[in-house]
Chain A
Amino acid sequence: MARQFMKGNDAIILGALAAGCRSYYGYPITPASEIAHAAALHFPALGGVFIQAESEIAAINMVYGTAGMGIRTMTASSSPGFSLKQEGLSYIAGAELPCVVVNIVRGGPGLGNIAPEQADYFQITKGGGHGNYRLVALAPNGAQEMCDLTMLAFDLADKYRTPACIMADGITGQMMEVVDIPEPKTVPYDHTSWCARGDSETRMNLISSIFLEPEDLEQHNLKLDKKYQQITAAETRYEEYRTDDADLIVVAYGVVSRIVYSTIDQAREEGLKVGLLRPITVWPFPSEPIRKLADSAKSFLAVELSTGQMIEDVKLAVEGRCPVHFYGRSGGMVPGGREILEQYRAILAGGTH
């Protein structure tokens, strides 16, 4: 097995190349820039396209262009840059174009800082741009997943003709781990029926998100909604660790899920029956497994690098059947295992947060 010791950010491009992504359009921003560096190195070397765009907005609209040709394409940025892409994402979702967008989330709001956060959860999972749309959003928690989930994101994007997002934090982007180099794939989707490539086969096709008549736009929205329901039913992904008999279910994703993971066994040694549910897709959110766990667990704890965003989805899934506690750090502060363990002790001793 060929392996490479690499940054999470670089692993995204490894996955993209293996998935058959042909072009990358991006604008530099810390802590996502390594993705652009890797793209600039590798895409042209394989005959693909790399453009350092004049802005985040231009970059996402270039993605709109290539995605409208039915050809795999991507962009990546970090929080402030991702905010700028929202209009373009709304157009892409409205026009039902497959593409992959990456957000290596940093501290906000505003210029914030370049340290890791997960405070773009609302923006990514609840829309971000205007209109009725969703982003399929995958949250890797290590370099191998940065590669693997990027490949999956391209497949989901093509399968459902919809933009897919990799939501990672600054730590997952910047850290290096060993990654198995994947086998490249041919793209198993033929978009000739709708895409516009500038050839005679696709000459009749239109890429557009305009539906001038309210009746037509409502039908389009209903069609999109149906698609989102299908995605929810078929593509929700999550991972569980020692949840079977757990009194306390911790819900955490991305790098936080790893910090929590490292505390579970220790908690068990103390006699604290704690388990971890880790959303791999933050949209669609694993509401169903959480709802089921709420039948047996005594309480839930959402741990996030934010002041409380994903917790809303946990609460919706739990449906008020048991308390949902919250522990979050923000601004680039990352919780240590010790402070998370304190939360378990307090909650299981009857404390509330």
Chain B
Amino acid sequence: MAKVFEKPTSFYSNFERKTAGSKKSTHYCPGCGHGNVHKMIAEALEDLGLAERSVFVSPVGCSVFGYYYFNSGNFQSAHGRAAAVATAVKRTNPDSIVMSYQGDGDLAAIGTAETIHTANRGENITVFFINNAIYGMTGGQMAPTTMIGQRSTTTPGGRTEVDHGNPIKVCEMLATLPAPTFITRVGLGNSKQIMQTRKAIRKALKIQAEGKGYSFVEILAPCPTGWKMDPPDARDHLLSTMEDIFPLGVYKDTSEDVTEDHWKRVSLPFDVNKRHEYLQAMKTPLDLEPVELKQDLNCKFAGFGGQGILTLGLFLAQVGMKAGHQVSWFPAYGPEMRGGTANCSVNICKDRIGAPTVEHPNVLVAMNQPSVEMFEDEVVDGGWVFLDSGICTGTASADRLKVTAIPAAEMADAVGTPKVANVVMLGAICAATGTFEPDYVKDTLRVIVRKKELLEMNLAAFDAGWEFVKNG
């Protein structure tokens, strides 16, 4: 059989997406390294039989138009984000072959975070990193890989360590991570290097096809235009200077040790029936048992963090839900809930609830003195106030409010733990306001309190609070 070296079929036969110039040639400058790498990737996709399911993610930079050439699914991505786009495509369709193709500015400056984290997650993709030590498309500015002494349009006197930092060695950096499977640096300086590059590209794509994880191929490439050199001189320059700073070689290779599909993630279509079952199973397991609501309850519960203030609100709201009313629960959220004080607003209403925040409560539970002082003036005339009399010193509004001072924490302690002081309060609220009968609330608690021993104490605490109000 004759061996023919020719344009791989995983290139488009005509580059129809090109808007200027020949539809047969690339937009790259004479002697540019991108074309070589494109050609070897395209050849590998064809030879390995991967082209049909491949996705090529183009970056921003000279290779922004990668999609002109590759007969694959194509994404053009934002500057530095190719690895994030590639991650999502691969995770969503684990059978696809996904390549991100990025230059040094894209991959190692603006996209450093994406580069490192994609490698660290061991995404089963292949990253091709074209390192030509300069920003080509934007006009020859300093790249993260520009070498010390190298002149660029933003380092006109040459890059210095003190003013600009050192060139970043990406392979060396990524090789410190446990997840990546294959990390190598190759070059385009001469035929030997080119053929090594070809081999590395094929190996990287094969690793991905086998589900063996993240592969990264850095390619030292010439930029004759950016370097202001003839193409052959640029290749010589690459050999004489770049290799010293960026040594070629394999920095990591665990492909022999990784089992096939180890890094292949599962992504399944979302079956409607399965979703139906799943969502239905999320329901709050309270059957509707309508109870008439004598009056709307607009409650403010406040105290120290850890006193079960938010839980008290949740319990009462769920009792209201079971009773078929409109309910809302809103916590004061954020640092204050983690630090010291906590409060929440609960509405239980016959009709549509307006503000979920309770500005003027008709029920206030205050489990410390600052809470009394903060909210007592806001309670509507004739409203109920419940104070923990073991903690609070009292209210100044007793003449216009129905005040119940109840040693909730002490009573809770007596039934087993001060933690259920909030449920003592719940019992007191139900008794004083006459909204929900004990059995009804306790049935609710039996459903929503999951821990058996805690449930028993909750039920006892509720009874204690109820009895305290009913019988003193």
Contacts and interface: CB of A to CB of B under 8 A. Distances in A.
Q: Do chains A and B touch in the complex (CB under 8 A)?
A: yes
B75 to A, nearest CB: 5
B75 A47 contact: no
Interface string A9-33: 0000010011010110100001100
Contacts of A95: 76
Interface string A69-90: 1010100000000000001100
B97 interface: yes
A4 B77 CA distance: 40
B337 to A, nearest CB: 10
A255 to B, nearest CB: 7
A68 B275 contact: no
Interface string A251-283: 000010011011100000000000000000000
B357 interface: yes
Contact of B266 (A20, A25, A47, A196): A47
Given A47-B270, A175-B356, A199 B329 contact: no
B19 interface: yes
A331 B274 CA distance: 43
Contacts of B55: 196, 198
Interface string A197-223: 111101111111110110010000000
Majority DSSP secondary structure for residues of A touching B: mixed
Interface string B297-325: 00000000000000000100110010000
Given A65-B87, A198-B93, A185 B272 contact: yes
Contact of B333 (A31, A205, A208, A334): A31
Interface residues of A, number: 85
A58 B84 contact: yes
Given A14-B282, A196-B74, A51 B114 contact: no
A54 B117 contact: yes
A62 B282 contact: no
A53 interface: yes
Nearest to B331: A174
B5 interface: no
Interface in B66-96: 67, 71-78, 81, 84-89, 91-93, 95-96
A69 B284 contact: no
A122 interface: no
B276 A183 contact: yes
B268 to A, nearest CB: 3
A66 interface: yes
A142 B328 CA distance: 9
Give the residue among B276, B278, B334 with the most A Cβ atoms within 10 A: B334
A235 interface: no
A48 B114 CA distance: 22
A16 B14 CA distance: 42
Interface string A325-351: 000000000101110000000000000
B354 A259 contact: yes
A65 B86 contact: yes
B71 to A, nearest CB: 7
7 contacts: A5-B284, A5-B329, A22-B267, A61-B114, A95-B76, A176-B329, A205-B74
Given A20-B270, A184-B276, A199-B52, 7 more contacts: A18-B279, A57-B81, A64-B88, A65-B92, A176-B330, A197-B92, A213-B19
